[in-house]
Chain A
Amino acid sequence: MREKKKIIYLALLFFIILLIPQVIKDEYYLHIFVMSGIWIISALSLNLILGYAGQLNLAQGTFFGIGAYATGLLMQKMGLSFWLALPLGCLFTAAIGFITGLPTLRTRGHYFPIATMCLGIAIYYVIARWDDVTGGARGLFGLPRPDPIALPWLGTISFESTVSCYYLVLFFVVVTIVVIQRLISSLAGKRLIAIRGNEDLAQALGINTMRDKVICFTISTFFAGLAGGLFASYMSSLMAENAHFVTSFEMLLNVMIGGVGTIIGPIIGAIFLPLLSEELHFLGGWRLVVYGIILILTIRFLPFGIVGGIRLAMAKRTGGKGF
């Protein structure tokens, strides 16, 4: 019964989300929604490795950048269509994730965040200095939007307008949510939760923790690459800054403030924070100070983010045990 109710609510919510561009015609807000969608995918990708497998990956912004540059370069230098460049870009990102995951995931505790932060910075400099390929500090310009696709009955869909990009990104948000939700709700997802809980105990129970961590990391980087690829095509230009570890920290902020280890938390964070960021634009660099204060307050008072706080409040109201 409860499941049925949940599905009805979700269907209703999805319907509203589908209708948004028909109601809100303002280009500026539509642009923010498209960006939110891209941040949702990247926040969910970070949440998979951080929230479920318990590994604090500080290079996720760099994987976002790898996906963005790979997709962008495949389109610009190889002349590939977006529809081919995007999956190849994701696979390339996942391959880099797999190769770099093998050594870094051997570390435990604080060493993994340190190792991934170093990795992120190193790859950032490769992107920022490799002038011949990535355009170096100048970045990449004039990346094409996705080619129009011809669908039976519906005719040809082009992706020049912001509205069409809204639906494109929405489609990939749904794909990301479905794949990650299915993974973590299965027994394989229980293994990730076991690794987060206690890696030694997980091994004593016959779980190949190293293998699961590497697979989880690879999937997680795949989706970071997806977010990056969509970003590249939508923005039509890329800067090395997009692969900077500041991007990693912004993703981390989205996940932490929304609620780590839940599906809905990173989504809320990824919608709320970019909106806030736009509102605080007049502060310039001081924005980051406000971010810092929000993060400290969140960690102090809402260690499991907005979603964790709501759950706790609801449990208190119904006299639950707080879990």
Chain B
Amino acid sequence: MEEILLEVKKLTKYFGGLKAIDDVSFRIKRGEIFSIIGPNGAGKTTLFNMITGFLTPTEGEIFFQGHKISGLKPYQIARLGVGRTFQLTTLFMSNTVLENLIIGQRETRQLGVFQSIFGVRKREKSRQEAEARAHAIAEFVGLGNQKNTPAALLPHGAQKQLSIGLALSGDPELILLDEPLGGVDMDEIDAIIELIKKIRESGKTICLIEHKMRVVMNISDRILALSYGKKLIEDLPEVVASNEDVIASYLGDRYAACG
């Protein structure tokens, strides 16, 4: 039996009079790579922001591992095990790769302020654990040679790798990647695709927003297609690729009729 990790139920989001998300429901199963596609403005990032608590849904509910997470704050959802990246590569730019990854560790968010000032053993132990895990993640995402480089000085591809490393650093069950290949050079793309596959092999579930269709069709187990905030289809890649509504939303009705 397949376990449902994330369930989105009849989600609707209004921005003023604009319906950005219109009655969208879907389920993400544990261990799969689930992709969300759709033209610009389809509501993909809005959906991510609602799952991670940065926006509250106007209507509908979101469940993660059976817990209702809609209405919780972003840090609460992150602590339950949902990691994310942002569309615009978001890092602690003036800090090094290692410092970035230390900030993301569970130990970092858990250490009390009182402990940090007056504590002795726990203070040191938690720092050592966080550092050890940060080193391991730097190696895992392929930045082992650049641990002490400030994030701002990394090439764009490496910044994307670091942002994925940050999403991984709190050891989440589900990782939401918002255009991990956006603006990345051709020769850097393969490294990131390999990284995404490696994350899945390590037992994590991935939800992906991506525009590079060939990559999405290759890598995904299932795909959700959105257009103008509405769900078009949620199915296997080959079924989605040949769906007339999907083709129409990407290329216009004329092409769909020809195809």
In the bound assembly, the distance between CA atoms of A197 and B109 in angstroms comes to 15
A98 to chain B, nearest CB (A): 13
* Contact of B75 with A209 in the complex, beta carbons under 8 Å: yes
SS class, residues of chain A in contact with chain B: helix
- Chain A residue nearest in CB terms to B78: A206
Interface residue ranges of A196-240 to B (CB < 8 Å): 197-198, 200-209, 212, 215, 219
**A201 and B90: CB pair below 8 A?**
yes
Q: Is the CB of A183 within 8 A of B116?
A: yes
The residue in chain A whose Cβ has the minimal distance to the Cβ of B84 is A204
Pair B103/A193 contact, Cβ less than 8 Å: yes
CA distance A188 to B111 in the complex (A): 6
Which B residues are closer than 8 A to A by beta carbons? 52, 54, 73-75, 78-79, 83-84, 86, 90-95, 99, 102-109, 111-113, 115-118, 123, 126-127, 130, 150, 153, 166-167, 169-170
| CB closest chain-A residue, reference B110 | A187
* CA A303 to CA B93, docked complex, whole Å: 17
- The chain A residue sitting closest to B151, CB to CB, is A197
Are B99 and A205 neighbours in the complex by a CB distance under 8 Å? no
Q: Within the complex, what minimum Cβ distance (angstroms) separates B163 from chain A? A: 9
Given A201-B92, A204-B52, A206-B170, A215 and B78 contact (CB-CB distance below 8 Å): no
C-alpha gap A249/B123 in the complex (Å) = 35
Minimal beta-carbon separation of B122 from chain A (angstroms): 10
Does A317 reach chain B (CB closer than 8 Å)?
no
How many angstroms from the CA of A179 to the CA of B118 in the assembled complex? Answer: 8
Whether A187 and B108, one on each chain, are in contact in the complex, defined by CB atoms closer than 8 angstroms, is yes
For residue B117, which residues in chain A have a CB less than 8 angstroms away from its CB? 179, 182-183, 186
A205 vs B75: C-alpha distance when bound (angstroms): 7
Would you call B79 and A206 a contact (CB within 8 A)?
Answer: yes
Measured CB to CB, the closest approach of chain A to B225, in angstroms, equals 26
Pairwise interchain contact A206-B123, C-beta atoms closer than 8 A: no
Contact B92 A198 (CB under 8 A): yes
Q: A187-B126, A188-B116 are in contact. Are A203 and B73 (CB under 8 A)?
A: yes
Contact B116 A198 (CB under 8 A): no
Q: Decide if A187 touches B102 in the complex (CB within 8 Å).
A: yes
Residues of chain B lying within 8 A (CB to CB) of residue A203? 54, 73-75, 78
8 Å CB contact of B113 from A188, A193, A206, A321: A188
